[in-house]
């Protein structure tokens, strides 16, 4: 796993042009490949269809054409949302479906053109973060926010159990948990530390937040966003100066910048 640090220090945070360009290129290429595959599936057995029934080629043409139009429409709608940086009417449910289904496909397509999996994951999370922030600014602000942290942020030699109850932390300052707990208290949000995806999902079900700010590696973060959709998740990649899963770090200023941004509307309404 890469030890590369998160490139975006705060939510100033819109997805940059490189990330959008990568996603839009993959969406366009996926649309071309999908239409090509459907066309081949129609043309190859074309003459066999006519042997079943004289109108069978025409019927299959309509079916394949309709399926192709649906696939292209889905990809186009996702592309429009990526370009605009916010949801458009009726797009949220379709985008949720796209998040669940498209990312594995885009990863395969990206490999065909020489992109590393991590590049695609970073582009996906960057664009997702922009859409999450846009929704918080323009829609209903989140009332309940969960800071969801990986257990690997805790110092490896620490004997205090902080899963389930992060407040058990002795706040010695040897790891980022102390600073994250300080932010949790400052902004009045919940915080939990998870040991893995199954535990993280249980925490989400129990707390039912309106928004999750999650820190994790590429694999866990992208899978977590997929698993929890349509619940919005703002993702921040952890930093791994000692390798994966050992004494990892997170940019505290990035976490606070996101908290400040997503809670601004609530603060103003109560000001």
> Is the per-residue pLDDT at 225 higher than 60?
yes
How far is residue 31's CA from residue 15's CA, in Å, rounded to a whole number? 22
Smallest CA-to-CA distance from 265 within 210, 221, 223, 202 is with 210
**Within a domain: residue 7?**
no
List pLDDT tens digits, range 93-146. 666 766 777 778 888 888 888 888 888 888 888 888 888 888 787 777 898 999
Which residue among 130, 153, 174 closes a domain? 130
> What is the residue-averaged pLDDT of the chain?
81
Per the CB < 8 A criterion, the answer to whether 192 and 146 are in contact is: yes
Higher per-residue confidence, 53 vs 194: 194
Q: Which residues contact 195 (CB under 8 A, 6 or more apart)?
A: 151, 163
Give a yes or no: residue 115 inside a domain: yes
Check which CATH number belongs to the domain holding 182 and give it. Answer: 3.40.50
pLDDT of residue 7: 43
pLDDT tier, 201 (very low <50, low <70, confident <90, very high otherwise) = confident
The confidence score (pLDDT) of residue 258 equals: 94
Predicted confidence at residue 90, as pLDDT, reads 60
* Alpha-carbon gap, residue 60 to 100, rounded angstroms: 28
| φ, ψ (nearest 5 deg) of residue 179 | -65, -35
Picking from 133-142, 156-165, 241-250, which range would have the lowest pLDDT averaged per residue?
133-142
pLDDT of residue 270: 54
Same domain for 219 and 126: no
Residue 22 lies in a domain: yes
Helices (runs of H) and strands (runs of E) counted in the chain: 9, 4
Task: Please say if the pLDDT value at position 163 is more than 70.
Answer: yes
pLDDT of residue 51: 60
Distance CA(13)–CA(130), nearest Å, equals 6
Rounded mean pLDDT, 148-171: 92
Q: Give CA–CA dist 170/181, Å, rounded.
A: 11
1-20 pLDDT, tens digit each: 444 444 444 454 444 567 77
Model confidence, pTM: 0.76
**65 and 89 fall within a common domain:** yes
Mean pLDDT of the 145-150 span: 95
The residue count for the chain? 271
The residues near 150 (Cβ < 8 Å, ≥ 6 apart) are: 193, 194, 215, 216, 217, 220, 238, 248
Q: Are 133 and 234 contacting, i.e. CB atoms less than 8 angstroms apart?
A: yes
Domain range for 213 is 141-269
Note the pLDDT of residue 83.
75
Is 10 a member of any domain? no
Q: Are residues 51 and 95 in the same domain?
A: yes
More confident residue, 234 or 136: 234
pLDDT of residue 184: 95
Q: Which of 107, 130, 153 is the last residue of a domain?
A: 130
Query: What is the C-alpha separation between 207 and 185, in angstroms, rounded?
Result: 17
**Domain check: are 82 and 150 in the same one?**
no
Contact 147, 192 (CB under 8 A): yes
In a domain, 135, yes or no: no
**The pLDDT value given to residue 172:** 93
Give one DSSP letter per residue of 64-124, joined into a string: HHHHHHHHHHHHHHHHHHHHHTS--TTHHHHHHHHHHHHHHHHHHHHHHTT--HHHHHHHH
What is the pLDDT averaged over residues 177-190?
Answer: 95
Cα 98 from Cα 124, distance rounded (Å): 12
136 belongs to a structural domain: no
Q: Which of 130, 158, 192 is the last residue of a domain?
A: 130
Q: How many domains does the chain divide into?
A: 2
Q: Of 169-178, 196-205, 228-237, 248-257, which gets the smallest average pLDDT? A: 196-205
The reply to whether 146 and 125 lie within a common domain is no
Instruction: For residues 150 and 225, state if they share a domain.
Output: yes
According to the model, what pLDDT value does residue 240 have?
94
Identify whether 187 is part of a domain: yes
Question: What pLDDT, on the 0 to 100 scale, is given for residue 23?
Answer: 82
Give the mean model confidence (pLDDT) for residues 32-55.
Answer: 71
Per-residue pLDDT at 210 exceeds 60: yes
């Amino acid at each position: 796993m890469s030890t590369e640090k998160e490139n975006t220090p705060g939510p100033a945070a819109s997805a940059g042009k490189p990330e959008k360009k990568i996603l839009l290129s993959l969406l366009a290429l996926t649309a071309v490949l999908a239409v090509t595959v459907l066309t081949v599936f129609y043309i190859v057995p074309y003459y066999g269809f006519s042997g079943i029934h004289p109108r069978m080629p025409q019927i299959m043409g309509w079916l394949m054409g309709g399926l192709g139009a649906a696939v292209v429409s889905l990809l186009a709608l996702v592309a429009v949302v990526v370009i605009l940086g916010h949801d458009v009417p009726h797009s949220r449910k379709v985008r949720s479906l796209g998040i669940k289904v498209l990312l594995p496909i885009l990863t395969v397509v990206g490999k065909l053109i020489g992109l590393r999996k991590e590049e695609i994951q970073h582009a996906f999370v960057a664009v997702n973060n922009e859409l999450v922030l846009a929704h918080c600014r323009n829609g209903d602000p989140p009332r309940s926010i969960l800071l969801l942290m990986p257990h690997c942020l805790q110092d490896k030699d620490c004997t205090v159990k902080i899963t389930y109850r992060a407040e058990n932390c002795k706040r010695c300052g040897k790891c980022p948990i102390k600073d994250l707990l300080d932010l949790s208290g400052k902004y009045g949000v919940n915080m939990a530390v998870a040991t893995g995806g199954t535990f993280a999902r249980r925490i989400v079900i129990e707390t039912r937040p309106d928004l999750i700010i999650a820190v994790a590696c590429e694999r866990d973060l992208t899978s977590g966003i997929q698993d929890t959709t349509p619940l919005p998740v703002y993702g921040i990649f952890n930093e791994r100066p000692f390798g994966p899963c050992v004494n990892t770090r997170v940019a505290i200023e990035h976490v606070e910048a996101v908290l400040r941004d997503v809670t601004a509307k609530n603060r103003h309404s109560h000001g």
